[in-house]
Structure 1
Amino acid sequence: MSQQIITPELCDWITEQSRAGHPSEAILGAMVGSGWDATVAREALARMLGGAPAAVVPVPPSSSDGYTPGLPEPDLVGRPSEIDAGDRKVKIVLSLREPRVVVFQGLLSDAECDGIVEAATKRLARSETVATNSEGSEVNAARTSDGMFFERCESELIRRVEARIAALLRWPLDHGEGLQVLRYRPGAEYQPHYDYFDPAHAATASILKRGGQRVGTLVMYLNHVEAGGATIFPDIGLDVMPVKGNAVFFSYDRPHPSTQTLHGGAPVIAGEKWIATKWLRQGVFN
């Protein structure tokens, strides 16, 4: 994993947690459990609170315990125009290093897009997000879409797509959540947000037991949108247009705004937008 830096935002967060009455041991545990290196976390606490707890804090398990080191990452050595994803070649449209953002062309065939949409249609319900002040999920005004989740490898089509993603991003198939499919009607949007789990949230400790932090996101476009519906990255001024079969990937090495992975779904102006999202975890998701 890339070097972690103690940012002003992290320092502010530590100060807020301390003022809220959380002991330093709990703050340290939340940071480590959310993906921060224990040594960096201790240094940050010492800097802000005048000393870190002496007790040894568990670090994320090693690869032998079901965790894969580093981050999901396509093989872009030599700046290739396309890469092998196992059963097909996928073209590279755009690649940013900081933050890591890659746009792929032709990740899915038209038939695969149509098959996913058809299978998802009868299972759609109003999309939810992690509940604001408790565990579980809830309907959120910031997310005006309909959605559903496939079980991992629940059909031959889903298995084939997930295997391709695993090969493309060089990340184990079982380190990913099931595909989520979303439909956005005209006017629907998803306001800018982060995909990692907030270390300060009440539900995070429980969520992390199922595979650790999210470390990467792949958004696949399942149809052509008449107007609107771009995936936007406000921090870096990037808009990715929804083109059927294409996808945008981004990764984040810590649960913090310094990753510059703030993103959202711009309102659909005309037509509908269908996407499938794959979230990648540190460890085996179950």
Structure 2
Amino acid sequence: MEKIRQISSELRDWIIHTLNNGVSPVAIADAMIKKGFDPKFAYESLFKIVGNESINTSETTQNHYKYELPDIGKKGNLIFTSDREVKVLSRVDKPFILHLDNLLSDEECDELIQLSKDRLQPSRIVDPTTGEEKVTPGRTSKGMYYVIRENELITKIENRIAELTNFPIENGEGLQVLNYGIGEEYKQHFDYFPPNKVDPAKGGQRVGTMLIYLNEVVAGGETVFPKAGVSIVPKKGSAVYFHYGNSENQVDRMSVHSSIPVTKGEKWVATKWIRQRRIY
């Protein structure tokens, strides 16, 4: 079989993401070789990426993401749920990003932090190469997960997100709460899965993320979308929703983002990942 000697833009971005999360270039090159890449081409590509050199990619029309407006983007600048009035502070269409205010009350934020404190563990990522969860230098926060409808507060938040996005609660993963101390961060990454790690039996691909800020951060901790030139400053009770999956099973590479280091105080956030279909 002829060896692969082309690299897609998506694969290039995943390699950068994986390197940022502490996986060695040799391990990535070995994985590429196992997938059918020419060994010399694999190592040369890795060396160029590590050295920040330009690299040619195999762009075709099918690689270009087709933007589709998600339902939350059709609801105007004031979005009403059954128990909340949520304000749209800003909007970007490519990639799709909504900055929302008043998603949670101060009391709900405080209660969620208190419920989560004693369950925190070092945060993990899904290794794009192996599919295994692991702790890496690129993600230095602590976190925990709730199961769907675990308690009254979680159910209330899940219902609110479902009403905002028009995705059923069952399309969402369990709410994750994260805590970042001084110097802690999450380097550039994508929230969607590598194509070869998507499990159709478990809801399929991730298509959207609701990131909720639970406290005021004294300095640092912004959520940055570098390809869009967007930086979101944490504000208690506010949130950012970004959408990166369409009906053609494409994912938006423009959605790459990071959480920059906290320089003063601490940062608490809650994350809800939404899948294509029901998970449960």
Aligned to 2:270: 276
The residue aligned with 1:121 is 117
2:228 aligns with 236
Do residues 21 (structure 1) and 21 (structure 2) align?
no
Determine which of 236, 242, 245 is the counterpart of 2:237.
245
Partner of 2:203: 211
Secondary structure of 1:260's counterpart equals helix
Taking the aligned partners of 1:72 and 1:149, their CA distance within structure 2 comes to 26
Check conservation: 2:10, 2:253, Cα contact below 8 A: no
**2:94 aligned with 1:98, yes or no?**
yes
SS in structure 1 of the partner of residue 148 of structure 2: coil
Matches of 1:281 and 1:71, distance apart in 2: 16
> Where in structure 2 are the equivalents of 1:119-198 lying within 5 Å?
119-198=115-194
Please list every run of 5 or more consecutive structure 1 residues that lacks an aligned counterpart in the other structure: 1-6, 23-42, 46-69
TM-score for both structures, normalised by structure 2? 0.74
Q: TM-score, normalised by structure 1?
A: 0.73
Deviation for aligned residue 1:140 = 1.0
Report the residue type matching 2:150 in the other structure: E
The 8 Å contact of residues 109 and 245 in structure 1, kept in 2 or not, is answered as yes
Q: How much has 1:9 moved relative to structure 2?
A: 2.6
Q: Give the aligned partner of residue 74 of structure 1.
A: 72
Q: Distance in 2 between matches of 1:135 and 1:103?
A: 31
4+ residue runs over 6 A deviation: 16-19
How far apart, in 1, do the equivalents of 2:103 and 2:205 lie?
A: 25
Deviations 1:88-127 (A, max 9, x none): 1101101111111001000000010011101110100000
| Offset of residue 81 of structure 1 | 2.9
Q: Percent identity?
A: 39
Distance 1:138 1:210 in 2: 20
CA distance in 1, matches of 2:62, 2:92: 29
State the distance in 1 between where 2:126 and 2:12 align: 23
Q: Give the Cα separation in 1 of the matches to 2:160 and 2:154.
A: 10
- How far the C-alpha of 1:259 sits from its partner, in A, is 3.7
CA distance change for structure 1 residues 256 and 144 in 2, over 3 Å: closer, same or farther? farther
Aligned length: 229
Q: Which amino acid aligns with 1:267?
A: P
